[in-house]
A and B are shown apart, each in its own frame.
Chain A
Amino acid sequence: MPAPAIEDPADAIVRITTSAICGTDLHFVRGTMSGIRPGTILGHEAVGVVEDTGQNVRNFNIGDRVVIPSTIGCGSCAYCRAGCYAQCDDANPNGRDAGTAFYGGPAITGPFDGLQAEYARVPFAHTNLVPIPPGVTDEQAVMVSDIFPTAWFGARLTEVKDGDVVAVFGAGPVGQLAALSGRMQGAGRVLIVDGTPTAWRPPGCRTPRPSTSTPSTRSRRSRT
C-alpha cells in the first residue's frame, strides 16, 4: 500500500512501532460484522513515533513517542469538549449521527485506514495523539490504545463504588482488564464468568466449586 500523506493541516503521519490485533478485527475479517470497504487497512491499536505533522498540529514534534487512541474525535465540538469523543460531530465524514469514527472499521465509521501498517495518518492529531510518559514501555502503551480504556470505561459504566460486588462476563483481554479496573475503582469483590475451562486465573483469585444454580433460579434476595 502507498504510504499515507498529510491531507489536512491537522493531520500527522505516525510511524507505527507496535500494533495489536483486537477481537473486533476478527469480526471484520470473517464477515460477522458487515460494511467493510474492500481495501481498508485494518487495525485500531498502536503506538508509534511522529514522522510528520501538518501546520495546525502545534503540540507534537517529529520524533515524539505517542499512543494513538482507537476512536477519533475532533477535539473542539461540544461532544469532544464534554469528553464524549465517541460521539464527535465532525470526525466521521458520514455525519454527526453516523456514530463513532475509528481506524480500520466499516464504511460507516469513516472509513479511516487502520494502524496495522508501517505508517498511519492520524486526523485531528492535536487531539488524537497522546505522548507516552517516560517509564512506560511500548507493550504497556499499546494496551492503553484500545483495550485498557475500553475496560476502564466499562467498569465506570457500572457506577462501581467502594465495596461493591462486580461481575464481569467474559474473561478475554477486555474482561480481564475490566476486572482489574473494577478493583482499581473500589470494588470489594470481583467475580469473573467465562465458559472456557482454561480461562485465565488472576493471582490470588478463588475459583469456587461448581454450583447447581443458574442466575434465574437464584432468588435475588438470597445471594450466597
Chain B
Amino acid sequence: MPQTGPAAAEAAQLIDRFADEQDKVAPRIAPSHGRWQPGDAPSLALRWAVQAVAKAGTLGIIGVYPPQHEAFPIGAAMNANLTVKMGNCNHRKHVPGLLSEIAAGYTDPHRGVDATGDKPYRASGIRGLRPPRSRMDEGHPRSRLTPSTRRRGAARPGRYADRARCYFR
C-alpha cells in the first residue's frame, strides 16, 4: 500500500477491507525479521487498473491468484463497459514463437529486464559477464536484417518483427 504520494490517502480508506482480504488470501503467515511479509493490499492493483483504463477499454490480468482471492470491483468495471480478460498463462502456446524471435535476434528478454542487483538474471554468477549482444543495438554488425545478413536456417521473422526492432526508442 502506498505510504506517500497522491494515491496514499485514498488507499488508506480501504485499510480494513485490505486487512480482510489479507486474512482470506494469506491466513497463516510467519513473518520473520522483516522478511516474508505478505502484500498488505491484495486488490489495490486491480482497483487502480479498473479506474485507470479508459471506458470501454480492455483490462488484462495475469499472475497467480489463489482461489481464496475474491475481491474485484465488478460494479466499477461494469459501469465503464470494460472488457476484462484473465487467466493462467498457456506457456506451451507461446514458447516456440518467443524462442524463434530470440534466435532470429528480434528480441532479447535480457535487454528488457534490469539485471542489476537481481542475481537470478545472472544465472551463471560470473561478474562482468555482459548480456548477449542484441540486434537491437546500433552498431551490431547485423542490426539491419537483409537477405544477405540473415543467417542461413535462422527462424523466419515473427509477426511483430518490424515493430520489435524499435521498441523502447
Contact = CB atoms under 8 A, between A and B. Distances in A.
Contacts of A86: 87-91
B145 interface: no
Q: Most chain-A CB neighbours within 10 Å: which of B58, B88, B131? A: B88
A205 B10 contact: no
B29 A133 contact: no
B120 A158 contact: no
A130 B99 contact: yes
A132 interface: yes
A177 to B, nearest CB: 6
B108 A140 contact: yes
Contact of A69 (B91, B124, B167): B91
Contacts of A170: 45
Q: Most chain-A CB neighbours within 10 Å: which of B36, B64, B151, B154? A: B64
Contacts of B103: 133-136
Given A99-B88, A139-B121, A140-B108, A133 B167 contact: no
B132 A149 contact: no
Interface stretch (A7-15, A23-31, A50-58): A23-31
Given A133-B99, A135-B154, A215 B62 contact: no
B94 A177 contact: no
Interface in B114-143: 114, 118, 120-124, 131-132
B27 A144 contact: no
Contacts of B27: 34
A1 B35 CA distance: 28
Contacts, number: 223
B75 interface: no
Interface residues of A, number: 84
Nearest to B129: A139
Grouping DSSP codes into helix (H, G, I), strand (E, B) and loop, the B interface class, with mixed when no group exceeds half, is: loop
B51 A216 contact: yes
B58 A158 contact: yes
A40 to B, nearest CB: 16
B95 A184 contact: no
Contacts of B26: 31-33
Interface in A175-216: 176-180, 183-186, 193, 195, 200, 202-205, 210-216
B33 interface: no
A158 B103 CA distance: 26
Contacts of B105: 135
Contacts of A32: 25-26, 29, 38-39
Contacts of A120: none
B72 interface: no
Contacts of B28: 31, 34
Interface of A: 18, 20-21, 24, 27, 29-34, 67, 69-71, 73, 80, 83-86, 99-100, 127-128, 130, 132-159, 167, 169-170, 173-174, 176-180, 183-186, 193, 195, 200, 202-205, 210-216, 220, 223
Nearest first, the 8 A-B pairs at minimum CB distance are A157-B60, A154-B62, A215-B51, A180-B112, A200-B114, A69-B91, A30-B36, A158-B60
15 contacts: A20-B123, A71-B89, A71-B90, A84-B93, A85-B91, A100-B88, A142-B123, A146-B89, A152-B98, A157-B58, A167-B49, A173-B113, A183-B168, A193-B48, A212-B6
Given A86-B90, A149-B94, 9 more contacts: A67-B95, A140-B132, A143-B109, A146-B91, A157-B60, A158-B58, A169-B45, A176-B112, A183-B167
